[in-house]
Structure 1
Amino acid sequence: MELSERIRAIVDRQAINDQMTRYIQAVDRCDLALLKSVFHADGVVDFGVFAGNAWEFCEQNIPFIKENLVMGWHRFTNVGLELEGDRAKAESYMLGNAAVRLPDGSLINCPDNMRYLDVWEKRAGIWRIYSRDLVLDWNASWAFSQRSDGEFEQYQLQGRRDESDPVYQLDLIRPL
């Protein structure tokens, strides 16, 4: 592989990694526009609970998160990526956690580990997800408790699940 091809591969890998980060930010901040920006409009997802058009998934998923999850965060790691010109295949691990409100009003903590199986396409110079499948590896649940006593009272900044989150003030979250 020539040096220019290797450099192009590094740039493409970083662009995909940046989009993966945007996906996680979008889900955790409940940012519909940002979430849609990560997918091609004709993209597809299969998450078991939803299989179909990616943008329709986004339009269903963000309201569901807002209505049912009191808090949620995700992180991705262990990305295996194979570039094939303007297409790429990837497997990435995702560790997530959410506080879910039950019908009786109580909260449970729901951590899970999943994997995304993706097909990425670069169109007009921008990498976006064309196809995403979700593989559930494990999950659990237990009673939720969020400490705000003791030293936890001293934290000045609290995460928010919308555009009032402090990260937006730094202009770090924006769609391509």
Structure 2
Amino acid sequence: MSADAATIEVLLGRIDQLESRQAIIDLASEYCHGFDKRDFDRFLAIWWDDCVWNIGPPFGAFEGHDGIREAVKNVLWPAWDESHHLSTNNTVKFDGPDRARAVCDVDCVGRLAGESVCQIVGATYEDLVERRDGIWRIKQRDVTIHYFNPVNGTPLTAPG
């Protein structure tokens, strides 16, 4: 291989890793948008069909697309009338060209169903992500909840 071909190969690898890193970070954003906007198809699109979502206590673990559907539609969305996730501190570490570990911290405010009481949640998401057929999705998400507290007397209202 010539020096020019080797240089091009190295540059293509670096470009692939940059594009992959952004695609992986976008998974965290799509999670937030899909969940908060109650767009289930958007939310489901970030998960492989053989995924595991370990939400942890008090919720448990959910497997595959059927488990994701159960968690979102029958457990989480019914508990909150609205939610607002913010993800930050994203890191990505590659285990190879098609596998990586991603971590982000998340703050979420939600209003309990039928009430004016809000909850604030702080958590860390640790993801195993895989690229299959050129697409990055979450294979496993482990959630560590740091706090899950009510914020009494603080209704979420539109600015007036």
TM-score, normalised to structure 1, is 0.76
* Number of matched pairs: 147
Deviation at 1:30, TM superposition (A): 1.4
Distance 1:88 1:147 in 2: 39
| 1:122 corresponds to | 131
Q: Structure 1: give runs of 5+ residues left out of the alignment.
A: 154-176
Q: RMSD across aligned C-alpha pairs, in angstroms?
A: 1.8
Contact 1:113/1:136 (<8 A) preserved? yes
Distance 1:40 1:53 in 2: 10
| 2:101 corresponds to | 89
Contact 1:35/1:58 (<8 A) preserved? no
Alignment match of 2:87 (pick from 76, 80, 85): 76
Contact 1:50/1:57 (<8 A) preserved? no
Residue by residue over 1:7-34, the C-alpha shift from the partner in whole angstroms, topping out at 9 and shown as x without a partner, is 1110101111222211111110112211
Distance 2:52 2:31 in 1: 15
Q: Structure 2: give runs of 5+ residues left out of the alignment.
A: 1-6
| 1:3 corresponds to | 11
Distance 2:79 2:120 in 1: 15
TM-score, normalised to structure 2, is 0.83
AA at the equivalent of 1:32 = F
Q: How does 1:1-150 map to 2 (within 5 A)?
A: 2-48=10-56, 49-63=59-73, 64-83=75-94, 84-101=96-113, 106-143=115-152, 144-147=154-157
Runs (4 or more) in structure 1 with deviation over 4 Å come to none
